[in-house]
């Protein structure tokens, strides 16, 4: 039986979760806020706010391009976290999880990271390249600050699946396939079997990411898991509007974005 994740009371359901991923600062910090608002309007339950990084572990070409755009504009871990109050001022109320690789965390320091997360009102943090076995200090700091440390579990986690799943907080990020992020045409039987195994151990919602890129995927995943995480497809939709933004048609680009997200999530 699932336990209701806290996220300081902001998350009220444990199934059919929609967790979008966007890169902070892509194409600008101001537009990141606008896209987040539109995602909330289309039913997003949690926002993953990605910190752009020049040497990502598993980001496919779409997310890499977004990261390069954001880095070129001067985005950093500190500035990404400082976007959270701007999201709140704009009316974004859903929990925000900062998605960052470990190198920027190491440079800024564990305590400093959680000071910033707490001061700026972020509800969670996810560090995909920090192995579970090396995350004890981070997990303890997160618990002490009432911030959710989000764990990932992948098909090659083997005997670690139970340990990771049983200790997961907030929600468990289930990587549906090995390789890099990106849009895919189908989900394999092996992926669905893996999701079932993870759910046997997890006491928090299991959300599936990597390759969810269509309404049919969303429906399929929600039949087997508790939610979907969508990144590359959403960033591709943002990219589709870049030319309009460049030409001064920002409102049209935002409206097109909302329409595409609605189709992706609701059919």
Rounded to an integer, what distance in angstroms lies between the CA atom of residue 72 and that of residue 244?
20
Check whether 118 has a pLDDT greater than 90: yes
Residues 6+ away with beta carbon under 8 Å from 205: 2, 5, 14, 15, 17, 171, 172, 226, 227
Using DSSP, state whether 98 is helix, strand or coil: strand
Going through the chain in order, the beta strands assigned E by DSSP cover: 17-23, 47-50, 96-99, 124-126, 148-153, 172-175, 206-209, 227-230
Range of the domain at 26: 15-266
- Whether 248 is covered by a domain: the verdict is yes
- Whether 162 is covered by a domain: the verdict is yes
Residues of the chain above pLDDT 90, percent: 75
Summarize pLDDT for 52-108 with one digit per residue, the tens: 987 656 567 889 899 999 999 899 999 999 999 999 999 999 999 999 999 999 999
Whole-number pLDDT of residue 178: 39
Q: Which of 16-20, 130-134, 191-195 is modeled with the greatest confidence?
A: 16-20
Rounded to an integer, what distance in angstroms lies between the CA atom of residue 256 and that of residue 267?
15
Whole-number pLDDT of residue 112: 97
Whole-number pLDDT of residue 187: 65
Residues in the chain: 267
- Whether 2 is covered by a domain: the verdict is no
Whole-number pLDDT of residue 183: 42
Count of structural domains, the chain: 1
- Whether 4 is covered by a domain: the verdict is no
Summarize pLDDT for 140-159 with one digit per residue, the tens: 999 999 999 999 998 877 78
Rounded to an integer, what distance in angstroms lies between the CA atom of residue 210 and that of residue 60?
10
Q: What is the CATH number of the domain that holds 174?
A: 3.20.20.70
51 closest CA partner among 36, 71, 73: 71
48 is catalytic: yes
- Residue 85 Cα distances to 39, 47, 77, 93, angstroms: 17, 14, 14, 10
> How high does pLDDT run on average in the chain?
91
Catalytic hit among 42, 48, 148, 226:
48
- Residue 245 Cα distances to 26, 32, 65, 160, 170, angstroms: 12, 13, 17, 45, 35
CA dihedral 13, 226, 260, 190 (to 10 degrees): 180
Whether residue 66 contacts residue 23, with contact meaning beta carbons closer than 8 Å, is answered with yes
Whole-number pLDDT of residue 2: 72
Check whether 17 has a pLDDT greater than 50: yes
Whole-number pLDDT of residue 247: 98
Check whether 128 has a pLDDT greater than 50: yes
Residues of the chain above pLDDT 70, percent: 93
Q: Sorting pLDDT into bands at 50, 70 and 90, what band is 170?
A: very high
- Whether 78 is covered by a domain: the verdict is yes
Q: For tokens 């079932």, what's the residue?
A: 196
- Whether 10 is covered by a domain: the verdict is no
143 is catalytic: no
Name the pTM for this structure. 0.93
- Whether 121 is covered by a domain: the verdict is yes
Rounded to an integer, what distance in angstroms lies between the CA atom of residue 200 and that of residue 145?
29
- Whether 6 is covered by a domain: the verdict is no
Catalytic hit among 26, 59, 123, 226:
59
Rg (Cα) of the chain, in Å, rounded?
17
Rounded to an integer, what distance in angstroms lies between the CA atom of residue 177 and that of residue 156?
9
């Amino acid at each position: 039986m699932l336990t209701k994740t806290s996220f300081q009371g902001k998350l009220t359901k444990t199934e059919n979760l929609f967790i979008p991923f966007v890169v902070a600062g892509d194409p600008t910090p101001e537009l990141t806020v606008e896209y987040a608002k539109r995602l909330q309007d289309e039913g997003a339950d949690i926002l993953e706010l990605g910190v752009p990084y020049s040497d990502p572990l598993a980001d496919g070409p779409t997310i890499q391009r977004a990261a390069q755009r954001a880095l070129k504009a001067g985005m950093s871990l500190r500035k990404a976290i400082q976007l959270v109050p701007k999201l709140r001022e704009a009316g974004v109320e859903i929990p925000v999880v900062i998605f960052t690789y470990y190198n920027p965390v190491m440079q800024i320091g564990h305590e400093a990271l959680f000071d910033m997360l707490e001061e700026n009102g972020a509800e969670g943090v996810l560090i995909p390249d920090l192995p579970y076995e090396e995350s004890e200090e981070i997990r303890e700091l997160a618990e002490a600050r009432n911030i959710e440390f989000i764990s990932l579990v992948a098909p090659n986690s083997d005997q670690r699946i139970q340990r990771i799943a049983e200790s997961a907080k907030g929600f468990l990020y289930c990587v549906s396939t090995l390789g890099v992020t990106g849009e895919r045409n189908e989900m394999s039987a092996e992926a669905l079997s893996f999701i079932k195994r993870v759910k046997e151990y997890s006491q928090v919602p299991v959300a599936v990411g990597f390759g969810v890129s269509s309404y049919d995927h969303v429906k399929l995943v929600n039949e087997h898991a508790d939610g979907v995480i969508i990144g590359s497809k959403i960033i591709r939709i943002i990219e589709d509007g870049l030319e309009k933004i460049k030409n001064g048609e920002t409102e049209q680009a935002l409206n097109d974005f909302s329409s595409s997200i609605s189709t992706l999530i609701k059919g």
